[in-house]
Amino acid sequence: MSQPQTLQPTARPPLLSEEDRPRMILVVSIMVLEFAIDSLAAYLHLGWHVGAALTYAALACYTLFVLIRRDRVIGSLLVFGLLAGFGELPTDSWAVSDIKILDYASNELMIWDSPLYMPISWGVLLPQLGFLLLWATRRWSLSHAFALAFVIGSVNIPSYEFLAYHAGYWSYYDVPQIYHTPYTVILGEALIVTPMPLLVRWVTRSSWPKIVALAVGFSVWIYIASRIAWVLVGRGGLLLG
């Protein structure tokens, strides 16, 4: 008589693959270092020079990582982020010159209505969020990744806005806000980040021309999401009565 077979427990996949481990170390290390220095800058009111220096240093780290390791994932996210960052300039100009809620330090080096480092900061931010959300889509369902993206957009990014105000990077005025961050910025950035789990899948699998097209499309979405948030919770917004 044959013996009954015992079922072996299915091995769970590792939390990080061999390829993703150095990427995660890079991304988390830069995020932690940036948060620590931004917090110090906020406490000491050090001014925009710190934000600019941090942005350029982070860009250099990502660039070196891509060149040394020939990493296509971080490289594609970096190119996408830089293109989308320059595509965000019209949205920034709208906030500065049209609805007049955003004010940068008068002595900054500017491109259009934004500091020179601002579009590059998107090039640093989007690879960070992009890789974390890409990892989340591999670990959990896409719907869970969308929910995580919304939470990150509505909590993590506004936290940086709070530090930026106290550090002297920029400030908002004449708009409903909490802890120096306008409601319209909180909602707008949550909407901006929410579709990223699906978007980063496309970015990391696409050819360079398609990545350019995706960056242009995302820039348009940044503007649309910002306008939606303004209508809902901006000055005299529909949800503010």
Query: How high is the pLDDT of residue 85?
Result: 96
Average pLDDT by stretches of 10, the chain with 241 residues: 54 78 96 95 95 96 97 97 97 97 88 95 92 90 86 81 93 93 93 92 96 97 98 95 67
Query: How high is the pLDDT of residue 3?
Result: 57
Asked if residue 221 belongs to a domain, the reply is yes
Q: 195 is written with which tokens?
A: 């579709």
Asked if residue 5 belongs to a domain, the reply is no
Q: 65 is written with which tokens?
A: 């990582």
The parent domain of residue 164 ranges over 20-240
Asked if residue 9 belongs to a domain, the reply is no
Query: How high is the pLDDT of residue 7?
Result: 52
Could you tell me the CA-to-CA distances from 12 to 6, 22, 99, 190 in Å, in that order?
18, 21, 52, 32
Query: How high is the pLDDT of residue 11?
Result: 52
Residues 6+ apart with CB under 8 A from 209: none
Asked if residue 63 belongs to a domain, the reply is yes
Residues pairing with 178 in the sheet = 181
Residues pairing with 31 in the sheet = none
> What are the φ/ψ torsions at residue 45 (nearest 5 degrees)?
55, 55
Q: CA-CA-CA-CA torsion for 211, 213, 218, 221, nearest 10 degrees?
A: -170
Q: Could you please report the per-residue DSSP string of 116-175?
A: TTHHHHHHHHHHHHHHHHHHHHHHS-HHHHHHHHHHIIIIIHHHHHHHHHHHTSEEE-SS
Nearest-angstrom CA–CA distance, 41 and 167 = 5
Query: How high is the pLDDT of residue 157?
Result: 74
Query: How high is the pLDDT of residue 156?
Result: 79
Query: How high is the pLDDT of residue 13?
Result: 63
What stretch of H or E contains 115? strand 114-115
Asked if residue 7 belongs to a domain, the reply is no
Query: How high is the pLDDT of residue 2?
Result: 53
Asked if residue 27 belongs to a domain, the reply is yes
Asked if residue 156 belongs to a domain, the reply is yes
Cut 0.75: pTM above it = yes
Q: What is the tally of structural domains in the chain?
A: 1
Asked if residue 2 belongs to a domain, the reply is no
